[in-house]
Structure 1
């Protein structure tokens, strides 16, 4: 009887030890940390954190300003002074139309039927040559064109200038100086020498006008500077 009891106790001890060993392995597996998941975030989180978020990388487009040229012919300096007032007031570029053959006092004698200026103005097809040229005319949005009035018209050299460039898409503003006569048909005749340009109404100005007086007219044009 004692021997049987001893055998039963031994069997119970073996079963108990086996059970304890199984519990220990299960507990060890469940306590193993998921180190790969805990040490790095999900892929989408990496992508989001590395994406640029600086909105300044696409700056707002600044409103452009008009590029203006003031071109003029001045045989005696009167028109030059007015052109300089406009250029200074608009912070514009300025270009003088200079003849290859300068005009002398005798050339400008309107009482002489044989003077150079008289002969030129009596010939609508006369085109006196210009010394030099405007660089990058295509960059300008607005072109002021100034001249004295000769025999009720713009000097023929201004026609040479107008036919030397393409003014399509540009705004052209004529102005003149004279001893008393107005612009007459001078601006409309120059307009005929261009195509697809927008011509604004011109103005006769005086060589004695101050910059403020000249700019009062310029400001009335409503140019978007």
Structure 2
């Protein structure tokens, strides 16, 4: 069986729970993506146009948010799965920073989001654009919003990962 790493960012704990379920099903290692400056509850108030997350998400498509330099090496992994919340229809900008920092060449990549109201189409396009900007040779799977165990199971069965 190929080695799999689950990387996730979770500001409220929802994505962490989904990432842990995915890791358990795939018998994968798991690691958290840490923003350089952690988000506070006030930073995440999407009703306020001046909050940090709102301002970050409304940047141009090439906007980035700094992350801590503590990502694991991908040398021993064939598969990488990145989980994130969906903010304003797309991944938080730090996910693009994460993709920029990883060497995904030759890897099988899958991404998923958590959201109570948004699908994954815009997030998928955002991930695809970031992969293209980095000129990665990677097999990118179709992502999904994981909001129940049955959706997680179905999505995992749809993935084309190294075995």
Q: Would the TM-score normalized by the shorter structure come out above 0.5?
A: yes
Say which is worse superposed, 190-199 or 150-159, in terms of deviation. Answer: 190-199
How far residue 215 of structure 1 moved from its aligned partner, in angstroms, is 2.8
Name the residue aligned to 1:191: 128
Name the residue aligned to 1:122: 58
CA separation of 1:123 and 1:222: change in aligned 2, threshold 3 A:
closer
Secondary structure of the residue that 1:103 maps to in structure 2?
coil
Name the residue aligned to 1:19: none
Q: State the Cα deviation string for residues 25-77 of structure 1 (Å, max 9, x = none).
A: xxxxxxxxxxxxxxxxxxxxxxxxxxxxxxxxxxxxxxxx2110111111111
Kindly report the root-mean-square deviation, in angstroms, between the aligned alpha carbons of the 2 structures. 1.6
1:97 equivalent in alignment to 2:33: yes
Name the residue aligned to 1:145: 82
State the distance in 2 between where 1:176 and 1:188 align.
Answer: 13
CA separation of 1:137 and 1:191: change in aligned 2, threshold 3 A:
same
Q: State the Cα deviation string for residues 146-205 of structure 1 (Å, max 9, x = none).
A: 111111110001111000011111111111111121012212222222221111111111
State the distance in 2 between where 1:117 and 1:130 align.
Answer: 14
| 1:85–1:215 CA contact under 8 A, matched in 2 | no
Secondary structure of the residue that 2:10 maps to in structure 1?
coil
**Greater helix fraction, Structure 1 or Structure 2:** 1
Normalised by the length of structure 2, the TM-score is: 0.89
Name the residue aligned to 1:162: 99
Name the residue aligned to 2:142: 201
Q: Which runs of 4+ in 1 moved over 4 A?
A: none
Where relative contact order (Cα < 8 A, 6+ residues apart) is larger, the structure is: 2
Secondary structure of the residue that 1:76 maps to in structure 2?
coil
How far residue 103 of structure 1 moved from its aligned partner, in angstroms, is 0.5
State the distance in 2 between where 1:184 and 1:215 align.
Answer: 19
Bigger CA radius of gyration: 1
Secondary structure of the residue that 1:139 maps to in structure 2?
coil
How far residue 213 of structure 1 moved from its aligned partner, in angstroms, is 5.1
